[in-house]
Every structure is written in C-alpha cells, then in structure tokens.
C-alpha cells in the first residue's frame, strides 16, 4: 500500500470520528462516570472486539449480503436498541451507589465487556461501512490480506484512542456530578444509555435493490 494512500485513509478515519459521540462512545462515557476509566477499558475492549469481527465479516463479503438482504441484521439492531434502553431504565431506577462491579470484579469486568461488545455488534451498518471503506485504499496489485490487516489495526488504534478520550471526558463529568448525589449520576448515565439507543434506532438502512 502506498504511503500516500495510507495517509489519506488515516485522515478519512480521523474525519469520521470528528463528530458528536456515537452509540459506543455514549456507553463509554456512562461507564467511565460510574466505574472510572480503568474499569471502562473492559467496555472499550468489548467494543473493539466486535469491530474486529465486523471487519472480518466485511473482508469475507458479509457486507454484500447485508446490502442485498438486511432483514436479519435489522432485527439485531432493534434487539440492541432494546438492550440499551433496558440498561438505561435500570440505571435511572437504581438507588445504589454503584453496580456490583467492585463487589464481584470478575463478573463486573465481563459485564462491562459484554455491554461494549453487544452495543457495537448491534450496529450491522458497521460491516457495510468497513466493506465500503477498505476497498477504496486497497492496492489490487499487491497482497490484499496484509493491507486489510494494516487498515484494520489502524482503525482499531484510532478508535481505541478516541474511546479513551471520551472515557476521560466521562471522568471529568463524574467529578462534577458526584458532588451532588449518586442518584443523579445514575439518572445521567441512564439517560446517556437511552440516548445511545435512540441514536442506534435513528440509523436507517435500506438494502440495495
């Protein structure tokens, strides 16, 4: 892959993330406020793991399947919306200072990982995005798999850095919110999750005809 093409790709990915927080980023902010940035790293790991699977699906042509018949993936999307709303409602109704992440660290870490993974996988449009993005920067005269690996790793690194930045933003917000009450923290975090669900629900998708 020519260096010029790689730099253009890097710029395109940076521009893609220069937007208001998306579904996964809202989740990271919420978990950082409640549990701190160190624990929210498990959520980031879940999100990036889902991205790796989505990239693999795009590389093996899953994007074309979604583009022609996306009904099954639409169901995945709405299950994801319901999952996020359920988390949000549970947080808003909660009177606890925190979840049992600290009481049961192993279970808590897995739950945070699962939230990131499920939230990212609930967005089937990501496969279409990767399927449309990567071919624009692939040199067909060179080996394809190493190029896909470079593009994928670059995206994961940039995405991970952006998620950490949003997590840090959540920490800054937590410092202000916790001066009032943990009940307010729960309500804010629950509202963020419901906002993430509505954002995912607003992403429309029509199969190619």
User: How far is Cα 189 from Cα 57, in angstroms, rounded to an integer?
Assistant: 32
pTM, rounded to two decimals: 0.76
Which of 88, 152, 164 is closest to 119 using CA atoms? 88
The number of residues making up the chain comes to 209
Q: What is the pLDDT along the chain (209 residues), one digit of tens a residue?
A: 777 788 888 888 887 777 777 788 888 888 888 888 888 899 999 999 999 988 887 777 655 555 555 565 676 677 777 877 887 787 777 765 554 455 455 557 888 998 889 888 887 677 777 877 887 888 777 787 888 888 899 999 999 999 999 888 888 777 766 666 666 667 777 787 788 777 777 765 544 33
């Amino acid at each position: 892959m020519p260096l010029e093409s790689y730099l253009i790709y890097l710029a395109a990915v940076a521009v893609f993330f220069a937007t208001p927080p998306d579904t996964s980023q809202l989740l990271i902010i919420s978990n950082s406020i409640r549990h701190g940035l160190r624990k929210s790293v498990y959520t980031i790991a879940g999100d990036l793991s889902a991205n790796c699977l989505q990239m693999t699906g795009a590389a093996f042509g899953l994007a074309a399947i979604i583009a022609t018949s996306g009904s099954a993936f639409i169901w995945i999307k709405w299950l994801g919306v319901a999952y996020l709303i359920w988390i949000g409602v549970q947080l808003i109704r909660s009177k606890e200072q925190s979840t049992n992440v600290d009481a049961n660290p192993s279970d808590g870490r897995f739950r945070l990982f699962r939230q990131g993974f499920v939230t990212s996988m609930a967005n089937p449009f990501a496969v279409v995005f990767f399927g449309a993005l990567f071919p624009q920067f692939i040199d067909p005269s060179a080996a394809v798999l190493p190029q896909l690996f470079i593009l994928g790793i670059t995206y994961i690194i940039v995405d991970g850095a952006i998620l950490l930045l949003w997590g840090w933003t959540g920490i800054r917000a937590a410092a202000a919110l916790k001066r009032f009450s943990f009940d307010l923290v729960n309500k804010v975090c629950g509202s963020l999750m419901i906002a993430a669900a509505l954002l995912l629900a607003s992403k429309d998708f029509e199969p190619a005809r």
